[in-house]
Amino acid sequence: MTSSVKRSFKYRFYPTDSQAAELSRTFGCVRKVYNLALQARTEAWTRGERVNYNQTSAMLTEWKKTKELAYLNEVSSVPLQQALRHLQAGFAGFFAKRAKYPSFKSRKRSRSAAEYTTSAFRYSHGRLTLARMSDPLAIVWSRPLPEEARPSTVTVSQDAAGRWFVSISCEDPTVKRMPTADGVVGIDAGLTHLLTLSTGEKIANPRHERRERERLAKAQRQLARKAKGDGANRAKARRKVAKVYAKIADRRRDHLHQLSTRLVRENQTLVIEDLTVRDLVKHRQLSRAISDASWAEFRVMLEYKAAWYGRKVVTVDRFFPSTRMCSACGGLGAKLPLNVREWVCTGCGASHDRDVNAAKNILAAGLAVSVCGAGVRPQRSTPGGQLAMNQKTLRREL
């Protein structure tokens, strides 16, 4: 691991009227250039041709010379070039089969953002000034940047609730490997409890969305009564809905950050299930609760923090029967309905808490993979199956 890692620090800021107008123009130009380039690349794709970043950059130069798109010259050129680079990255992900085909940006539905590189901003002594602006942004420095930080990129954005944010990317030398910890933990994600650990600890599910459901429903009813269109009243009602959603997301993100940081600090190895959340949210009765739990966001946090601090995250196959496998003897029981929270193994008579048993099995399977390199799916449903053999081997290794 290098001596420092590159990370982003996000802050809220309050622009002046002129700054807000400049940024809004920039957002519109970025969206226009992105959509024009995507249209050009899509048309070339239908003809069996490929257009790369250099070609779209040359197109941008020509677009600026036309009367219809001359307004593109009124904003900094750097965010426009960055939009083309982001489109190139989107196509790279598509061709590598890691992502879907890039989609057009909508003025109402797409995130408003513009990225500036070092040539388009000036940062000195806590004052950040963007290109085409004479005054620095009024940033609320909720936490300091690392000493002698040299930002490489600055991304300005505005969310649906109308709040302005700036994300500053720079090297952070304070992020270093932690001393080796003794802890190893299996983590079972759930809805009754957000997480259940192999140690037996159960972490409550805050259910942030449910706590704000009444306020959200009221704001949505008010929005539904407004006439459709671009009227000021409908825009105001839409912002009220967005503010409730933003409050929910902020609380959820803060809780997940605290939880993931704690688990990474306490444990050297963390074992989780490889859940396909995008498929799970299709469940008609549980989709809302699953979205509110935000398991995917928690996993992302866990993985990048583990990489920062020298920890290890092991994933267990999503089809591994962690819930109905006995953590004592390795035998497989019958499938359990969601309302069954405790069960007794018919093979050895051990009594299990559904979630704690699953977390123990996840831990055992993950350690078996790490130490023995074996698979995690049992080959037979009787005691003494593959997992049980891996557990015995693991005990000898440890």
Got the DSSP string for 227-257? PSSS-HHHHHHHHHHHHHHHHHHHHHHHHHH
In DSSP terms, 357 is beta-bridged to none
Three-state SS at 158: strand
Give the model's confidence band at 377: pLDDT under 50 very low, under 70 low, under 90 confident, else very high. very low
Would you call 122 exposed, middle or buried from its count of C-beta atoms within 10 A (0-12, 13-18, 19+)? middle
pLDDT for res 84: 98
Please say if the pLDDT value at position 324 is more than 60. Answer: yes
Give the model's confidence band at 371: pLDDT under 50 very low, under 70 low, under 90 confident, else very high. low
Within 10 A of 155 (CB to CB), how many other CB atoms are there?
17
User: Do 272 and 315 contact (CB within 8 A), yes or no?
Assistant: yes
Give the model's confidence band at 373: pLDDT under 50 very low, under 70 low, under 90 confident, else very high. low
User: Do 254 and 350 contact (CB within 8 A), yes or no?
Assistant: no
- Higher-confidence position of 165 and 344: 165
pLDDT in tens, 172-189: 988 889 999 989 999 999
Residues known to be catalytic: 188, 273, 355
Average pLDDT over residues 331-357: 86
Distance, C-alpha 59 to centroid of its chain: 33
Percentage, residues of the chain above pLDDT 70: 92
Which residue's structure tokens are 């600090």?
265
From residue 16, alpha-carbon distances to 74, 111, 129, 135, 345 in Å are 18, 21, 13, 9, 66
pLDDT in tens, 309-321: 999 999 998 888 8
- Higher-confidence position of 3 and 122: 122
**Region of poorest pLDDT, from 50-54, 87-91, 260-264, 379-383:** 379-383
pLDDT for res 120: 97
Would you call 17 exposed, middle or buried from its count of C-beta atoms within 10 A (0-12, 13-18, 19+)? exposed
Give the model's confidence band at 392: pLDDT under 50 very low, under 70 low, under 90 confident, else very high. very low
Signed CA dihedral, 209, 260, 316, 390: sign only? negative
- Higher-confidence position of 382 and 316: 316
pLDDT in tens, 235-291: 999 999 999 999 999 999 999 999 999 999 999 999 999 988 888 888 888 899 999
pLDDT for res 276: 85
pLDDT for res 331: 86
Nearest CA to 359 out of 333, 318, 327 is that of: 327
Nearest CA to 126 out of 79, 173, 168, 76 is that of: 168
User: Do 125 and 84 contact (CB within 8 A), yes or no?
Assistant: no
Task: Look up the pTM and report it.
Answer: 0.85
Please provide the DSSP assignment of 165-227 as one string: EEEEEEEETT--PPPPP-EEEEEEE-SSEEEEETTS-EEE---HHHHTHHHHHHHHHHHHHSP
Rounded CA-CA distance 96/240 in Å is 40
Nearest CA to 123 out of 144, 156, 149, 142 is that of: 149
Which residues does 388 contact at the CB level (< 8 Å), separation at least 6?
329, 330
Which residues does 98 contact at the CB level (< 8 Å), separation at least 6?
none
Rounded CA-CA distance 236/245 in Å is 15
Rounded CA-CA distance 216/218 in Å is 5
Average pLDDT over residues 124-152: 93
Rounded CA-CA distance 271/269 in Å is 7
In DSSP terms, 353 is beta-bridged to 342
From residue 140, alpha-carbon distances to 18, 166, 239 in Å are 19, 10, 22
Average pLDDT over residues 350-374: 83
Which residue's structure tokens are 């790279």?
92
Rounded CA-CA distance 52/56 in Å is 7
- Higher-confidence position of 240 and 373: 240
Checking phi first, is residue 292 left (phi over 0); if not, alpha (psi -120 to 50) or beta? alpha
